[in-house]
Structure formats: structure tokens, C-alpha cells
Amino acid sequence: MLEVRGLEAGYGQVRILRGIDIDVADGEIVAVLGSNGAGKTTLNNNISGLYRPFAGSVRFAGEDVTGAASEAIVERGLVQVPEGRRIFPNMSVRENLELGSYRRGKPNRAANIARVLEIFPRLEERLGQAAGTLSGGEQQMLAIGRGLMAEPKLLILDEPSLGLSPLLVEQMFALIRRINDDGLAVVLVEQNVMQSLALADRAYVIENGAVTLSGAAAELLENADLKRAYLGI
């Protein structure tokens, strides 16, 4: 579904990504792991068209989308939920959700809202409330729900666990599993290594702008290098 080949990207003169290869198949959850500054968000922004890569290619659903405009990429069904819960704070929860469906999925808007509310019942009580008044976890649910409104074929979640309590992270990941059960492919970009590996089918570990480890999530969980790097064992 998604094929990233030799992606090099950065900002201005600064090269962050130094040739990245990533594949995502239909219906998979793929974790992209790495610490702060590894280049996870840069990877995201270049896949979803917010920035133009220096070199390499991005193919989505068989089409080359390297450097395409973000709205064209969203139209094809590749939707990103940006990090840090970027909701529209002064708009109501309902308006936030509706905004997700302008570019794609507008005919089914009502049904999609119902589906998002079924997945995130907490949002139902808050539909008319300004989104800025929601708690951190609810805002993250809203951001994901807004992404779902565009009927994505592939959803990229950038650090959905950021700033959430361990309990909420667990709930959030269970909800991501649920979204994936409906057949939606998910790329989970995370720092939370252990929980992400438990959730994902496959994973890539990025360090200093390059993939240093990749494979089935279950195998990576047993990987000694990863344990040393992230758990200090």
C-alpha cells in the first residue's frame, strides 16, 4: 500500500533523513520507532506532502505521490493525524469532525460521525463543546476521529500516546487496534517502544535519520540491541 524508497529529506540545508525504506501492506499496523530527533516527524511530513523530499520516492496505492501537494495525498486516502493533538480549539467537536470530511468522504459524513462516536463514545457527550475544553486524551481521540472522517485507506498517527497517562495510553492503543480491525492500515509513529511493539505487526526503528532495525514486531520485542537502547537492560 505504501512504499517509501530511499527517502532523503530535511529542512533548508539540513538533511534529516538519509535514505529511508519503509513498506506498509494492506490492513497492517506498522510501528515507526525512534527517540526525539530521530526524524520520525520529518518522515511523516514528507510522506503526507507537507514538505517535499530531497530525494527518493513515495508510492501510495500503486501511484507515485512523491512531493505531491498534501490535499492531493489526502484525496487519495492517505491521512495523517499530526502530533501534539492539533485540533481546532475554538470550534466545537462536531465542527472539528466535519472539517475532516471536506476533502474526502463528504457524502457519508453523517454515517462517519456516527461511526467515530461509536469508537470514541466520550466525544458524543462533548459534541457541542469547544474542542479546546477537552482533556488531553479526549483531544487525541478527536484528532484521530477527525482523521477517520476522511475515510482513510492508510492512517498515520504521529505520537498518539504523547502526554497521556499510562492508563490512557493503553486505552488509546486498544482503540487503535479496534480501528485496525475494520481493515484500515495504520502507521504508528511512536517513542513508546514496548507498547507499540505489542500492538504492531511489524516495526522499523529509526536512528539519526536511517532505519537501523526492522522486522516483525514480535521478534523485535526480543531483540537484545533494542532492549539495551531503550530499556537499559
Partner 1 sequence: MAVRTLLFLAALLVLALIAPLLIANRFLIDVLTLILFSAFLGQSWNILGGYAGQFSFGSVVFFGTGAYTSSILLMTFGIDAWIGAIAALFAGAAVGAFVGFLSFRYGLRGSYFALITLAFAEVFKVLANSVEFTGGGIGIFIEHEPGLARLQFDDPAGYYYIALALTVVSLAIAWWLERSRFGAYLKAIRENEDAAEALGVNAFRCKMYAIMISGAMGGVGGTFYAQKFLYIDPPIAYGVATSVEMLLVSIVGGMGTVFGPLVGSFVLHGVNEVTRHYIQTPGLSLIVYGLILIAIIGYLPNGLIGLFKGRARPKDAEDA
What minimum distance in Å lies between the beta carbon of 83 and partner 1?
10
Contact present, 4 and 23 (Cβ < 8 Å):
yes
By beta-carbon proximity to partner 1, the closer residue of 130 and 198 is 130
Q: How far apart are the first and last CA of the chain?
A: 36
Q: Is 205 in the site for partner 1 (CB under 8 A)?
A: no
Q: Which of 35, 57, 108, 129 binds partner 1 (CB under 8 A)?
A: 129
Q: Is 73 in the site for partner 1 (CB under 8 A)?
A: yes
What minimum distance in Å lies between the beta carbon of 150 and partner 1?
7
Q: Is 229 in the site for partner 1 (CB under 8 A)?
A: no
Edge to edge, the sheet with strand 55-60 lists 14-24, 2-11, 55-60, 63-64
Question: Pairing between strand 78-81 and 185-190?
Answer: unpaired
Number of neighbouring beta carbons within 10 Å of residue 130: 16
Closest listed residue to residue 80, CA positions, set 168, 147, 165: 147
Q: Which of 6, 11, 52, 69 binds partner 1 (CB under 8 A)?
A: 69
Q: Is 90 in the site for partner 1 (CB under 8 A)?
A: yes
| CA pair distance 135, 53, nearest whole angstrom | 35
What minimum distance in Å lies between the beta carbon of 81 and partner 1?
7
Q: Is 87 in the site for partner 1 (CB under 8 A)?
A: yes
Contact present, 155 and 81 (Cβ < 8 Å):
yes
Q: Which of 6, 37, 89, 107 binds partner 1 (CB under 8 A)?
A: 89
Q: Is 61 in the site for partner 1 (CB under 8 A)?
A: no
Q: Is 208 in the site for partner 1 (CB under 8 A)?
A: no
Instruction: List the interface residues with partner 1, window 148-187 (CB under 8 A).
Output: 150
Q: Is 74 in the site for partner 1 (CB under 8 A)?
A: yes
By beta-carbon proximity to partner 1, the closer residue of 5 and 109 is 109
By beta-carbon proximity to partner 1, the closer residue of 113 and 205 is 113
Q: Is 58 in the site for partner 1 (CB under 8 A)?
A: no
What minimum distance in Å lies between the beta carbon of 76 and partner 1?
10
H helices within the chain, ranges in order? 40-47, 70-76, 93-99, 109-119, 121-125, 136-148, 166-181, 193-199, 217-221, 224-231
DSSP string covering 106-154, please?
Answer: -TTHHHHHHHHHHH-HHHHHTTTSBGGGS-HHHHHHHHHHHHHTT--SE
Phi-psi region of 27 (alpha: psi -120 to 50; beta: other; left: phi over 0): left
Chain residues binding partner 1 by CB under 8 A are 48, 50, 69-71, 73-75, 79-82, 86-92, 94-95, 98-100, 102-104, 127-129, 143, 146, 150
